[in-house]
Amino acid sequence: MELADKAVGFLLSAISLSIFTYYTFWVIVLPFVESDHFIHRYFLPQEYAILIPVFAGIALLSFLSVFVGYVMLKSKKKSA
């Protein structure tokens, strides 16, 4: 089981590092590259660099709010 945990941890770290590298290159480096360069084909338009994290944050906050509300209602029913 310990080996499986290490493998999952490594996989999650690799995915996180890949996303961070992609996003950093997209937001910081790409605006300085000419717009007709071939590298622009591998990235979404710049507007999405803001929209995707905003919507992900809203989804995360919504999920956390629903989860906390569910736990509070569940604990209230146990005490009553």
Contact, 27 vs 52, CB < 8 A? no
Q: Kindly indicate the confidence band of residue 76, based on its pLDDT and cuts at 50, 70 and 90.
A: confident
pLDDT tens for each residue of 2-47 = 888 899 999 999 999 999 999 999 999 999 999 899 999 999 998 9
Stated as kind and residue range, the H or E segment containing 23 is helix 2-24
What tokens appear for 67 in the block?
């989860």
pLDDT value at position 80? 62
Whether the predicted model's global pTM rises above the 0.75 cut = no
